[in-house]
Amino acid sequence: MSKSGAWLNFRNRAVLRARPPMSRSLFSLLLAYVFTSLASAQSTPRPEQLIKWRQSAYQVLAWNSARIKAALAPGKYDETEVRAAANALVAIATAGLPGLFPASTEHGKGWRETTAREAAFSDAGRFRQLNDDFAREAGLLARFAAGSDQKAVQVQFLKVAQSCKSCHEKFRQTD
């Protein structure tokens, strides 16, 4: 070992011996603080936040549906726009939308007052089934949009719109 290496080794051991040992209670307190911080960071979001998230998700769905509708207008077919919007629909539809409807969010305000009906919470199985139907139809739309058959895209887009409507009729309030 070189002279400087020996000195550093000796110095490090001397510094370690000079520090007072951390008491067990202080260590336990520090450990408890770390775990409490981690647990609180992963706690369930507030109902208002969940309502905001779901309202935002449905706004993005509506926006992408409008993009597809505009791109399917006679003489204005935009294959790139349809493909991008259809892929966005699939991404959101398969992202777990029913998880944004926990029991604590039947009433409340996110960006605005919630429009979810009580049935979205009391008939969660049917709600999940309709979301799965929507995801399947959106997936087919994305598959057709990847091709070049405009007519097939139009027919499938109507099926996607119908799946949206069937869910709205049962689970969305309209004032």
State residue 15's pLDDT score: 53
Nearby residues of 52 by Cβ (< 8 Å), 6 or more positions away: 110, 111
Q: Say what the pLDDT of residue 165 is.
A: 94
Query: How much is the pLDDT for 102?
Result: 92
The pLDDT assigned to 174 comes to 81
pLDDT at residue 106, rounded to an integer: 92
50 and 56 Cβ atoms separated by less than 8 Å: no
- In the chain, the amino acid numbered 68 is I
Q: What are the per-10-residue average pLDDT scores of the chain (175 residues)?
A: 56 54 55 58 81 95 96 92 96 93 92 93 94 97 94 97 94 83
pLDDT of residue 44: 79
pLDDT of residue 167: 93
Q: Does domain 47-171 have CATH number 1.20.120.10?
A: yes
pLDDT given for residue 36 in this prediction: 61
Nearest to 48, CA basis, from 126, 108, 102: 108
Q: Domain locations in the chain?
A: 3-41, 47-171
pLDDT in the model for residue 107: 93
Neighbouring C-beta atoms of residue 93, cutoff 10 Å:
25
Q: How far apart are CA 59 and CA 135, in angstroms?
A: 16
